[in-house]
Amino acid sequence: MPDTTIQDTSPQDGAYNYGYLDEQTKRMIRRAILKAVAVPGYQVPFGGREMPLPYGWGTGGIQVTAAIIGREDTLKVIDQGADDTTNAVSIRRFFARVAQVATTTHTAEATIIQTRHRVPETPLTDGQILVFQVPIPEPLRMLEPRETETRTLHALSEYGVMQVSLYESIARHGRIAKTYNYPVMVNGRYIMSPSPIPKFDNPKLDRSPALQLYGAGREKRIYAVPPHTPVKSLDFDDHPFEIETWTESCALCGSTESFLDEMIVDDTGKRLFVCSDTDYCESRR
Amino acid sequence: MSTTLLAPGFADPAHDAQRLFRSVLDAFSHPGRIVELHDAPAGPGTLSPAATAFLLTFADRETPLWLEAGVDKQEVRDFLRFHAGTPLVQAREAATFAVIIAGGGEPFAGFAIGSDTYPDRAATLVIEVPALDGGRATIWRGPGIDGEVRLAIDGLGDGFWSAWAANHALFPCGVDLVFASETRLIALPRSIAVEA
């Protein structure tokens, strides 16, 4: 197995408070997180701050991580399953610098995993916290643009519009064609956006022993799924929820069970399928 | 002029608050789990260290606090005003946080329960109990609990669990509770159904 330890150490930056955010901001975010845990799937508004990176690069996830992280934590950051992509590397280095935390690429060693659009293949355990970066927290937004209206629909648990959109997908394509950001019902009460993870990952959210926190920076919302909480992907009796399958296996580790990325490897269009989760893939080689 | 000394707050504010927050987050994500707060400051004495730690971790100038008569003492008010900057309020409905002594009637009456559109705007009540065991047996079920947990929190009044059932029935509205005893606490979010 290759050595995947990454040297992220850099001099402590004394110009910032621990974890970048000031204590007042952290308390505000921490209060929002407690309410998010108390009402699973409900989006709690919070006073999002400007972060030193643009919206869309994980400002929500970073603020959640900054509010929870401490010196005893070990942080893992993934972007589409990979530890070595730009977004993941820069966020990991950011926290190594402003929070002086240990970082890792190994899922099992991490206490906090910040993720953009994947859930690790390695099953999570009690005590781990998975922090999702969320672009659009409102699952009904594409169906109803008005915030006042979506808020009322959530209050009344009036989700017919979502079922209709899934039905229209079946009418048009013969199946539910949504492959990522697939809506879920949390604890039988709130419809929630699981963030743009592939629907392949939706079953991992259901009754996970880890705590799931979701942070949306531009929209300034935090929501959560506590451990052991039922998370059901929406479907119909005659069109049950299904995840993606591949006829190929991973070209590097041979896995037939993980989420595969398709890569074009030469000018003649030769294709290769490899695991999206780099840590999982490396641990199997 | 009084010459009483203020009890110290956090020795290391950023890190103490972070560790205590994670303990409380652990309690909220695992309702019924007894969480030990190792860094809880002793506080002014009238409050338990667990309640003191909770308030120093979460309360500030944005969170009005309501104190029950039994803990509404000068040393407590001075301590919380100095270390947390918390405004103290007389009206229950204005409070974000409250400290209540177990055993009284109508423990949740009058506190903010949030609204259907903003259920997060509900109060969190810290209930001071004599012990986290030895009381009436209860079974808790809901998000964060793998199956069920059995608890017997001591010192709660007769009508407490029926009042809780009414609060739980308001979901997604309703108050959230923290039971504090010495340096330990248990969280009870509104999502949890309790069989008593």
Question: Residue A213 is which amino acid?
Answer: L
Question: Residue A157: closest CA among chain B residues belongs to which residue?
Answer: B116
Instruction: Say yes or no to pLDDT of B38 above 50.
Output: yes
Question: Residue A240 is which amino acid?
Answer: P
Residue numbers of B between 140 and 179 with CB closer than 8 Å to A: 142-146, 171-172, 176
Q: How many residues does chain B have?
A: 196
Q: What pLDDT, on the 0 to 100 scale, is given for residue A3?
A: 45
Q: What pLDDT, on the 0 to 100 scale, is given for residue A190?
A: 98
Low-confidence ranges of chain A (pLDDT < 70): 1-14
The SS3 assignment for A91 reads: helix
Question: Residue A280 is which amino acid?
Answer: Y
Q: Is A229 on the interface with B (CB under 8 A)?
A: yes
Q: What pLDDT, on the 0 to 100 scale, is given for residue A12?
A: 59
- Cα–Cα distance between B27 and B21 in angstroms, integer? 10
Q: What pLDDT, on the 0 to 100 scale, is given for residue B5?
A: 80
CATH of domain A11-140+171-233: 3.40.50.11310
Question: Residue A66: closest CA among chain B residues belongs to which residue?
Answer: B18
Interval B50-109: pLDDT, tens: 999 999 999 999 999 999 999 999 999 999 999 999 999 999 999 999 999 999 888 999
Q: Of the candidates B170, B179, B52, which has an alpha carbon nearest to the alpha carbon of residue B127? A: B179
**Catalytic annotation present for A281:** yes
For B156, the token pair is 């709660």
Q: Are strands B138-141 and B149-151 parallel, antiparallel or unpaired?
A: antiparallel
- Cα–Cα distance between B7 and A60 in angstroms, integer? 37
What counts of helices (H) and strands (E) characterise chain A?
Answer: 7, 12
Q: Of the candidates B159, B153, B157, B164, which has an alpha carbon nearest to the alpha carbon of residue B125? A: B164
What is the per-residue DSSP string for A207-252? T-SSEEEEEETTTTEEEEE-TT--EEE--BTTB-------SS--TT
> What share of chain B has pLDDT > 90, as a percent?
91
What secondary structure letter does DSSP report for A199? Answer: G
**Can you give the residue ranges of every domain in chain A?**
11-140+171-233, 247-285
**CATH 3.40.50.11310 correct for B3-195:** yes
- Calculate mean pLDDT across residues B18-30: 98
Annotate A136-164 with b (16+ C-beta within 10 A) or e (fewer): ebbbbeeeeeeeeebbebbbeeebeebee
For A157, the token pair is 């648990």
What secondary structure letter does DSSP report for A136? Answer: -
HSE of A285, CA atoms in CB hemisphere, 13 A = 16
**Catalytic annotation present for A127:** no
To which residue do tokens 């009084």 refer? Answer: B2
Which residues of chain A neighbour B193 with C-beta distances below 8 Å?
A: none
Instruction: Give the ranges where chain A is alpha helix by DSSP (H).
Output: 23-38, 59-68, 86-98, 147-156, 160-173, 202-205, 278-284
Considering just the CA atoms, what is the radius of gyration of chain A in Å?
A: 19
**Catalytic annotation present for A275:** yes
For A125, the token pair is 């355990």
For an interface test with A, the pick among B12, B16, B18 (most A C-beta atoms closer than 10 Å) comes out as B18
Instruction: Say yes or no to pLDDT of B153 above 70.
Output: yes
**Can you give the residue ranges of every domain in chain B?**
3-195
3-state secondary structure labels for all residues of chain B: CCCCCCCCCCCCHHHHHHHHHHHHHHHHHCCCCCEECCCCCCCCCCCCHHHHHHHHHHCCCCCCEEECHHHCCHHHHHHHHHHHCCCECCCHHHCCEEEEECCCCCCCCCCCECCCCCCCCECEEEEECCCCCCCCCEEEECCCCCCCEEECCCCCCCCHHHHHHHHHCCCCCCCEEEEEECCEEEEECCCCEEEC
Please state, as a whole number, how many other Cβ atoms lie within 10 Å of the Cβ of residue A111.
Answer: 19
